[in-house]
Amino acid sequence: MIGKTVSHYEILEKLGGGGMGVVFKARDLKLDRLVALKFLPPHLVSVEAESDRLQRERFVLEAKASSALDHPNIGVLYEIGETEEGETFIAMAYYEGETLRQKLAGGALPLDDAVSIAEQIAMGLAKAHEGGIVHRDIKPANIIVTRDGVVKIIDFGLAKLQEATRMTRRGAVMGTPAYMSPEQARGDDVDARTDLWSLGVVLYEMLGRMKWDGRSITSRRAMKSTGACSRTTD
Q: What residues are labeled active site? A: 137
Q: Are 110 and 147 in contact (CB under 8 A)?
A: no
> HSE-up of 172 (CA within 13 Å, CB side)?
13
Q: How far is CA 32 from the centre of its chain?
A: 26
Q: What is 88-102 written as a DSSP string?
A: EEEEEE--SEEEHHH
Q: Are 193 and 114 in contact (CB under 8 A)?
A: no
Q: What is 47-61 written as a DSSP string?
A: -SSHHHHHHHHHHHH
Q: Are 233 and 140 in contact (CB under 8 A)?
A: no
User: Which residues are CB-contacts of 194 (< 8 A; sequence separation ≥ 6)?
Assistant: 134, 136, 180, 181, 183, 184
Which helix (H) or strand (E) segment is 211 a member of? none
* CA-derived radius of gyration, the chain: 18
